[in-house]
Amino acid sequence: MGTWIAAADGSGAYQLAPCMRQPDFRSDGRLVMNGEGCGTDSLWVMSVDGSERWEVSRHPEDSHPSWSPDGGSVVYSSSQQGDGQWRLYTHAIGGEIPHAPPFLPLGNSGILGAAPVWLSAGEIAYNGCDYVFGTGGNCGLWVVDSQGGEPRRLTNHPDDLAGDELGGVLLFMSPAGGAWDVYRIQVDGSGLTQLTGGPGNSGLPTWSADGSAIAFLTDREGQWAVWTMRPDGSEQRKLFDLNASPGPRWTEERITWGP
């Protein structure tokens, strides 16, 4: 486990943080990550050389952080309320860390969900069901305003997980076809397209900063590796093998393409 940094061809790889995972790059190159173990059980921000490191949350349950478009806040999911429910939380980075941050509001229970991604237009995509505002039986990816309120449904498989968004196009992973594969969809719900297929599993998609390519993780050749493709799914090719298996929790991880 741990967060590694590497060039797009796999060269210069080094371990940045041995007990941190689920990294997300900000436009200035700083990362927000989920700490697990080593006394880092909360969310942290640091530079790619390990400097300027500071804690930005208080609870070991806090996970899957994602930067706001302006880089001033993060959204994350947490079960910190202690009732077994995962909720979405947002708060600004800098200043005093809130010990009991308010969850994203919806009725008295808040937005129940996990694995959020903050979208460039200000909304938040996450995995969840229509609890509180529906029957609870409609699950998939949902989109909600960053101030809370009633979400709208984007996809309909209960295991769909958002990966990254750029220019109104959300990348996500889904096992809807039997194996995990990478898909894209407009945040208005149009243009659903499957981008990967074939043997093995593929997921954890992330956009390049200029939108010309997508990186993703796959074991299609029997070895976990980072691959890249064009935005339409063409020209798929391997960049580099991982130095270890991501393990059975690989769908909870994240890869992120730096600026």
CA 32 to chain centre: 11
Model pLDDT for residues 209-247, shown as the tens digit of each residue: 999 999 999 999 999 999 999 999 999 999 999 988 899
pLDDT recorded at residue 100: 83
**What span, in angstroms and rounded, lies between the C-alpha atoms of 134 and 151?**
11
CA distances from 28 to 52, 70, 120, 124 (A): 13, 11, 16, 21
> How do residues 39-96 score in pLDDT, each as one tens digit?
899 999 999 999 999 999 999 999 999 999 999 999 999 999 999 999 999 999 987 8
**Looking up tokens 């909720």, which residue turns up?**
87
Q: How far is CA 110 from CA 12, 71, 103, in A?
A: 43, 23, 6
Distances in whole angstroms, Cα of residue 138 to Cα of each of 41, 110, 152, 236: 32, 17, 11, 33
Could you tell me the pTM of the whole model? 0.96
Question: Which tokens belong to 25?
Answer: 């790059």
Q: Which two tokens stand for residue 180?
A: 């995990």
Both tokens of 92, joined, read: 């600004």
**Is CATH 1.10.645.10 what the domain over 3-252 is classified as, yes or no?**
no
What pLDDT is recorded for position 193?
98
* Residue 213: exposure state from Cβ atoms within 10 A (0-12, 13-18, ≥19): middle
pLDDT band at 1 (very low <50, low <70, confident <90, very high): low
Domain residue limits, the chain: 3-252
Contact 45, 31 (CB under 8 A): yes
